[in-house]
Amino acid sequence: MSVFKVAAQNRYAIVITEIMSDPTPQVGLPNFEWIEIRNTSATAINLQNWRVGDGSGVSGTLPNFLLQPDSIAIICGTTAAATMQQYGRTLAVTSFPSLDNDGELIFIRSNTGATVHAVEYSKLWFNNAVKSDGGWTLEMTDTKNPCSGSSNWKASIDARGGTPGIKNSVDGTNSDQTAPALIRAFATDANTLLLSFDEPLDSVAAATASNYSVSDGIGSPIAAICIAPLFNTVQLTFSTALQANKVYTVTANNVTDCAGNVISAFKTTTVGLSVRADSTDIIINELLFNPKADGIDYVELYNRSNKIINLKELLIANKSSTGVVANLRQLSLQNMLLFPGEFLVVSEDERILKRQFNAKNVSAFINISSMPSFPDDKGTVVLLNNTGAVVDELAYDDRWHFPLITNTEGIALERIDPNTSTQNKDNWHSAAKDVGYGTPSYQNSQFRIDLQVNGEITVTPGVFSPDNDGTDDLLTISYRFPETGYVMNITVFDAGGRPVKVLQRNAVCSQQGFFRWDGLNDQLKQLPIGPYVIFTEVFNLTGKVKRFKNQVVLARRF
């Protein structure tokens, strides 16, 4: 028995390898929730008095059962046990956790109370809209890599919807060669920090206080604790207190993940004491309410204050037809900070936004399980703090888009001036074409920078050679204007004054940007060498018109 006891205390000796969290609609397996475990050690392990649990509690104890090396067992509730036995050895427990469809933390705990393995799965891990809707399991790919989260889990590809009791359908090699990353920190009080990492850590290295330091005289902590069950959070205690309204940098060194990879590039983050957001501390800065058919809504927020705000204390909502605030959604279930001058993009699936837009700041995105409804014609976005006070509110209208745009699908509305009233319709404009009609996570294309700058068009280089040799293959047409709201037409004329290429027609522009020409005509054929004129006409609805002529030479190298 002593051999079994020693084996039972090793982290990852037993791992959760498959999760059936949403058995309906049924594909081929019974309509029950269950998990599958595997003994990855070289020693048999007695599971007597082990338990499984989630964030809301733990099950009753497992029976006296000896799980042999490289063997599998199914764990489920007592009602499901008789049915699940047809798929392999099945162990029933009372109070089996109710597995959330959208995802949650599930763990298995030894008879001594030690967490042996934990998984915080998500519906997004399926990466398949049909399978995430129910009837399919999530399967671990490589059981020798139990710490890697989403990168080591996939939707089952077995026709039945899962593989209880047998080798996973996605089984394969997927070793962890990526160093852990410090993703955020939070001050629970002036002397205590919680550091969050992107994967479980080696608990010994993570609990070494000298591996951490904080800037501005705070120094190293007097204590460090790696927190179960995921072991991806470290609590630090300091003798020197943090000051209010001050941003600090925290650094982690020599911390390793469970595969032995040492933290390297991503080992610092910012932290500070947070305060509650008041009116217009955080503003609604950009909104996509009419996405493409394969897109989703998003709301971009901007912290225009000098305060550090905890996103856990903010909610996003809309208004009902009677004008009542409704459909409140908490921005974060975890403590997460938004610092002065930072952007935050709120949506249901950041992966879709990052595919469709240029996400310059990939860490500025946050997912919530479901967004409030924002209709395509008009609606209301409300941002509140956790006391119910309105921080910012926008009643938008599709007619605020630039009038010459006939189809606004997939085009975001951008705030022009963060210091001008949110509800002023003249403070909103369609995102520019040259940024892909949206700027989630970074400064708006229609942001006012300098209203005194004279408008100009420049072309570079003066001589270009579109022969794909890697030198001056493209002509860049750059623009800069004193205000937003301009539309641009660009036409290329040859030396005889004949139009040979319509480069842009009715392109909505930001204050500055560029377009490029590859030297081809409208039929996508090469043009002869010689001089050409780039004729640019810029206008807006108030009657302002600007026209520019820039001469260039098209050459080729032989």
First vs last Cα of the chain: how many Å apart? 82
Q: Is 164 left (phi over 0), alpha (psi -120 to 50) or beta?
A: beta
Q: Which long-range contacts (CB under 8 A, 24 or more apart) does 151-158 make?
A: 152/176, 153/119, 153/121, 153/125, 154/125, 154/126, 154/127, 155/125, 155/126, 155/127, 155/128, 155/131, 156/18, 156/131
Q: Dihedral sign for Cα 254, 260, 266, 268, please.
A: negative
Tens-level pLDDT at each residue, the chain (558 residues): 333 333 335 789 999 999 999 999 999 999 999 999 999 999 999 999 999 999 889 999 999 999 999 999 999 999 999 999 999 999 999 999 999 998 899 999 999 999 999 999 999 899 999 999 999 999 999 999 998 888 999 999 999 999 999 999 999 999 999 999 999 999 999 999 999 999 999 989 999 999 999 999 999 999 999 998 889 999 999 999 999 889 999 999 999 998 899 999 899 999 999 999 999 999 999 999 999 999 999 999 999 999 999 999 999 999 999 999 999 999 999 899 999 999 999 999 999 999 999 999 988 999 998 999 999 999 999 999 999 999 999 999 999 998 888 899 999 999 988 988 899 888 899 999 889 999 999 999 888 643 333 478 999 999 988 877 667 878 989 998 877 778 889 999 998 888 999 999 988 888 888 898 989 999 989 899 999 999 998 887 766 677 888 999 999 865
Query: How far, in Å, CA of 403 to CA of 542, rounded?
Result: 12
Residues found in the chain: 558
Work out the angle at residue 519's Cα, subtended by the Cα atoms of residues 515 and 520, and round it to the nearest 5 degrees: 105
Residue 426: the pLDDT is 80
Pairing of strands 545-554, 463-464: parallel
Query: How far, in Å, CA of 164 to CA of 33, rounded?
Result: 11
Q: What is the pLDDT of residues 247-297, one digit of tens each?
A: 999 999 999 998 899 999 899 999 999 999 999 999 999 999 999 999 999
Instruction: Write down all domains in the chain, each with its CATH number in brackets.
Output: 2-155 (2.60.40.1260), 182-271 (2.60.40.1220), 284-435 (2.60.40.1260), 456-554 (2.60.40.2550)
Both tokens assigned to 72: 């599998």
Residue 508: the pLDDT is 87
Q: Which helix (H) or strand (E) holds 44?
A: none
> How buried is residue 115: exposed, middle or buried, by Cβ count under 10 Å (0-12/13-18/19+)?
middle
Query: How far, in Å, CA of 107 to CA of 89, rounded?
Result: 20
Work out the angle at residue 106's Cα, subtended by the Cα atoms of residues 104 and 112, and round it to the nearest 5 degrees: 150
DSSP 399: G
Q: For residue 536, give every residue at least 6 positions away whose Cβ sits within 8 Å of its Cβ, in sequence order, or none.
A: 457, 477, 479, 488, 489, 490, 547, 548, 549, 550
Query: How far, in Å, CA of 181 to CA of 362, rounded?
Result: 14
Q: Among 115, 116, 141, which residue's Cα sits nearest to residue 127?
A: 141
Both tokens assigned to 534: 């780039």
Query: How far, in Å, CA of 386 to CA of 124, rounded?
Result: 27
State the CB neighbour count (10 A cutoff) for residue 516: 12
